[in-house]
Amino acid sequence: MLRKGITESFGAAIYTLNTAQLTDGVINRSKRMMLDTLGVGLLGTRTAVFNKALKYSQMFTSDKKSSVWGKSEIILPPHYAAFVNGIAVHSMDFDDTWHPATHPSGAVLPALLALAETLPSQPSGLDLLLAFNVGIEVQGRLMRFSTEAYNIPERFHPPSVVGVMGSAAASAKLLGLSPEQCSHALAIAASSAGAPLANTATQTKPLHIGNAARRGLEAALLAQAGLEGNPAILDMNCGFGVYYKDYSPSAMADSTSGAFRWILEDQDVAFKRIPAHLGMHWVVDAALAARANLQNTAGHFDSNRIRRVTLRVPPSKYINCPLPSTEHQARHSFQFNACSALLDDNVTVASFSDALIRRSALKELLSKVTVETPEDNQPSFDQMYCEVEVETDQGLSYAARCNTFYGHWRKPLSQEHLVEKFSVNASSVLCTDGVDGVIDVVGNIERQRGCSVLSSYLRMTSHPHEQQHRTMTL
């Protein structure tokens, strides 16, 4: 029989965790997560999926209004602002990734910023930082209830499972709910959790993050209004356990004792250098290294002389897309990303445009790709590797292997490169003062008296003549 009181322990922890428990390590890591999330979210407001969701969301009104990032004149009901901003964050699959696998920040930060704008008493930056980390922590705890979660997912997209719970926990914390209400917020959110992997590589996948942010916020507000759910939702196989084959939950340590330790203290996140599924980063780095080997030996690179490209990657059906025809399929294709890297000696935001996806040179190279899945290549973001071998029509072979890409939690982006990534992404939408303002506010978030200043900077859009078009090279 499963232990009782697990849900209650989560509710108590959400309620009792306080700002004094935020360590320097957790503060620094979570500020990096916030900055990166805002950057990819701002860039994401230029995508088709975001604009479709925004048009839909503008049908709704309420007395309470929240900002849409990068839109100086558009406001929405808070849960719809959380929805569209969450979609923007994941619209290019450019947001952070944790281990066990999920995108932790995109489900939490849009909900918190939307909620903060509606509260009668403006939360401080430290309040925002604490609520954000509560939402991240809950996700990390829930993922560790299953060994299945440590591998590349097979059934559910993880942010749709744990992200909505993190959003609910973070929102409950910012609302100051009681321990019982926090538990009910988790129970309510659990009934909005879960999205099938069949919708990855489509325009619906970004909705998984948007829905997590929105539904988690709604769950907390409903709990505040007195709505109740199963007070043992995390304790039961027929509760939150339905999402995992090997569910084995445990109570959260008493946050008032010395036994509590933030998961983020020990497990950093990965920050992406290209807007694609995390697995693509291994194959891109391996392809670039193989290309360099060929070019250094032959003196030049000619794709027409390539006879075969062999990829040795971990087994995963939803990121094995031989002939992608859309940007979302391309973001989930080992073959596309390897061939793009070989052809262009780089992979960027522009690589996923229709023009580059449909070019004949790429299609020709894709037809020469073979995928192998060696038995020792584990489907885990902590253990996987990628090898790329290029064979020429002269019978020569050039191979390279990537065990850890730059940006992985074992090989984190430098602060300089993280800020550069944000600046390039944000400057496509915000004016220079807005970009600099967000960097300054997030960098000093724990010292901000109110977090509304952050929303102000996120609305400082560029005039057409101020738009900056730069390419990030890390």
Q: What is the pLDDT of residue 149?
A: 87
**Dihedral angle sign, alpha carbons of residues 401, 406, 407, 412:** positive
Residue 1, pLDDT > 70, answer no
- 12 or 321, which is more confident: 12
Query: What 3-state class would DSSP assign to 437?
Result: helix
Q: What is the pLDDT of residue 316?
A: 82
Query: What 3-state class would DSSP assign to 121?
Result: coil
Q: What per-residue string of b and e applies to 224-239 under the rule 16 or more CB within 10 Å gives b?
A: beeeebbbbbbbbeeb
Mean pLDDT of 16-43: 97
Which residues are within 8 A (CB) of 453 and not within 5 positions of it... i.e. 6 or more apart?
437, 441
Residue 190, pLDDT > 50, answer yes
C-alpha distances in Å from residue 440, one per residue of 55, 150, 243, 444 = 31, 35, 40, 6
Q: For 422-463, where are the E strands, in sequence order?
A: none
Among candidates 178, 173, 164, which has minimal Cα distance to 216?
A: 164
Residue 4, pLDDT > 60, answer no
Q: Greatest CA separation found in the chain?
A: 73
Report residue 463's pLDDT band, with 50, 70 and 90 as the boundaries: low
Query: What 3-state class would DSSP assign to 152?
Result: coil
C-alpha distances in Å from residue 297, one per residue of 73, 286, 308, 356 = 55, 17, 18, 27
Residue 219, pLDDT > 50, answer yes
Structure tokens at 286: 């391996």
pTM of the shown model? 0.95
Report residue 256's pLDDT band, with 50, 70 and 90 as the boundaries: confident
Other CB atoms within 10 A of residue 268 CB: 18
Mean pLDDT (the chain, rounded): 94
Residue 288, pLDDT > 90, answer yes
Q: What per-residue string of b and e applies to 144-175 under the rule 16 or more CB within 10 Å gives b?
A: bbbebbbbbbeebbbbbbbbbbbbbbbbbbbb
Which of the residue ranges 10-19, 133-142, 247-256, 329-338 would you say has the lowest mean pLDDT?
A: 247-256
My answer on whether omega of the bond before 123 falls inside 30° of 0, hence cis, is no
Which of the residue ranges 51-55, 150-154, 297-301, 436-440 would you say has the lowest mean pLDDT?
A: 150-154
Q: What is the pLDDT of residue 467?
A: 45
pLDDT-above-90 percentage for the chain = 88
Mean pLDDT of 378-393: 95
Element (H, E) at 111: helix 109-116
Rounded CA-CA distance 220/181 in Å is: 8
Residue 469, pLDDT > 70, answer no
Q: What is the pLDDT of residue 2?
A: 39
Residue 429, pLDDT > 50, answer yes
Residue 470, pLDDT > 50, answer no
Mean pLDDT of 67-93: 97
Structure tokens at 474: 């890390």
Rounded (5°) CA angle 147-153-159: 100
Answer yes or no: are the C-beta atoms of 318 and 427 closer than 8 Å: no
